[in-house]
Copies of this chain bind each other. A is one copy, B any other.
Amino acid sequence: MPRTDLSGNMLIAQSGGPTAVINQSLVGAILEAKRRKQITKIYGALHGIKGILDENLVDLGRESKATLEAVAKTPSSALGSVRKKPTTDDCRKIFSVLKKYNVRYFFYIGGNDSAETTHIINEEARKADYELRCFHICKTIDNDLRRNDHTPGFASGAKFVAQAFMGDNLDNRALAGVKINVVMGRHAGFLTAASALARVYPDDGPHLIYLPERPFAMSRFLADVKRVYAKHGRCVVAVSEGISDKNGTPIASLFTKEVDAHGNVQLSGTGALGDLLASQVREKTKISRVRSDTFGYLQRSFPGVVSEVDSREARAVGREAVKFATGGHSSGSVAIQRKRAKNYRVEYIRVPLSSVAKETRHMPASHINKAGNDVTSAFVEYVRPLVGPLPRIGRLKAYQVKKKK
């Protein structure tokens, strides 16, 4: 067991796609660090590991409590983010910087790519025989980190998606047609699936939900839409940006070539997939009013639509990471696990960095219906306590007036 009296400076950074509560984790870590006498300076690196490489650091210990609390409630990475994947050379450079600034506590807030980066840095530190406490603090709206029941950022994204579908279902009910909404989620459908929370009345949309976990076939999609339209005179569809055909080729990838630093095809920031599906429905069915919207970046950083559970847990994972590190643990990722209990309760555990790095988690089979075009009630029970209360949706009783002769 490493010693608990390792003293030195701390460095924290944020990486990957921002979330609505990622600064809760940052502030949770800072406030806990301020209470720990082992930690001297609290550095923040701007734009993730890029900020370390450039020695672009800020002194977070000097921030006032008021500023920190305001930042905690503000969406999107306050330290800036990055999508850079470090090379071996980068890692060598990172150590020289960490040593130079006497950093002994390193915290990296991010998703599975960031866990991998943290893991590499940790391995390099061990090789260099440099004592460094190296922790990953989980976040991702995709909710796709292994070892976690769910991840900070997801519930607020899910709340946005649910409210968006609530409004859009009402819009579609007023002016009938087919409406297709494309939701973020490259490999995991959790966020798209959260659209199911929009359902209040039996005929409410989304009527169909397509997830990356199940192969997408255009012909079946069109048949599904026709069937729902025949029944309700309208159809609201939730589609993950990452839906793929049976060979695993993303439907959207047929229309864009742009890739990011991790080699991922660009799926967000373009309306191509929604437009493609809408034009297919228009061409292949006789339905005239077909529209699509792509929720895009709104769903991950929308101020004012934040889950309280998510805020609280995001704060906690930051705090717990510092507790684990100063408590003598050399490395790990803080994971959220749900207690089997009547009421919703979680605990925060330390898991090995490698166990959350690289590979992602998918929706379990029990969350997806047999036909692969909807979620199950098990998923709804899973997600509802995370999102919390949603706006109340009223509906007229609409007492029909008998036609006069």
Residues of A within 8 A of B (CB): 14, 17-18, 20, 23, 43-44, 46-47, 55, 57-60, 62-64, 67, 69-83, 100-101, 163-164, 166-168, 170-171, 173-175, 179, 268-272, 274-275, 278, 290-298, 300-305, 390-401, 403-404
A-B contact pairs, 8 of them (CB 8 A): A46-B398, A55-B403, A58-B401, A62-B399, A70-B392, A73-B394, A303-B393, A304-B390
Chain B residues with Cβ under 8 A from A17's Cβ? 175
Q: Roughly how many angstroms separate A101 CA and B402 CA in the complex, as a whole number? A: 11
A14-B174, A71-B396 given. 14 additional CB < 8 A pairs? A18-B174, A58-B400, A58-B401, A62-B399, A69-B394, A74-B395, A163-B303, A171-B300, A268-B291, A270-B278, A270-B291, A271-B271, A271-B292, A304-B390
Minimal beta-carbon separation of A111 from chain B (angstroms): 13
Most-contacted residue by chain B among A274, A401, A404 (CB, 10 A): A401
Supposing A167-B303, A175-B18, A275-B272 touch, asked if A71 and B293 sit within 8 A by C-beta, the answer is no
Q: Which of B69, B81, B305, B396 contacts A175 (CB 8 A)?
A: B81
Q: Which of B72, B82, B296, B304 contacts A293 (CB 8 A)?
A: B296
Residue of B nearest to A401 (CB): B57
Is there contact, CB below 8 Å, between B275 and A396? no
Chain B residues with Cβ under 8 A from A392's Cβ? 70, 73-74
Q: Roughly how many angstroms separate A228 CA and B390 CA in the complex, as a whole number? A: 39
Closest 10 CB pairs of A and B: A271-B271, A70-B394, A269-B291, A293-B296, A76-B170, A167-B301, A303-B391, A71-B394, A57-B401, A77-B174
Is there contact, CB below 8 Å, between B174 and A401? no
Q: Roughly how many angstroms separate A17 CA and B393 CA in the complex, as a whole number? A: 19
Q: Which of B101, B293, B393, B403 contacts A298 (CB 8 A)?
A: B293
Minimal beta-carbon separation of A293 from chain B (angstroms): 3
Supposing A80-B173, A167-B76, A399-B58 touch, asked if A292 and B270 sit within 8 A by C-beta, the answer is yes
Is there contact, CB below 8 Å, between B101 and A404? yes
Is there contact, CB below 8 Å, between A298 and B167? yes
Minimal beta-carbon separation of A84 from chain B (angstroms): 11
Q: Roughly how many angstroms separate A55 CA and B401 CA in the complex, as a whole number? A: 9
Q: Roughly how many angstroms separate A397 CA and B179 CA in the complex, as a whole number? A: 44
Q: Roughly how many angstroms separate A393 CA and B272 CA in the complex, as a whole number? A: 32
Q: Roughly how many angstroms separate A235 CA and B30 CA in the complex, as a whole number? A: 30
Q: Which of B43, B168, B296, B395 contacts A401 (CB 8 A)?
A: B43
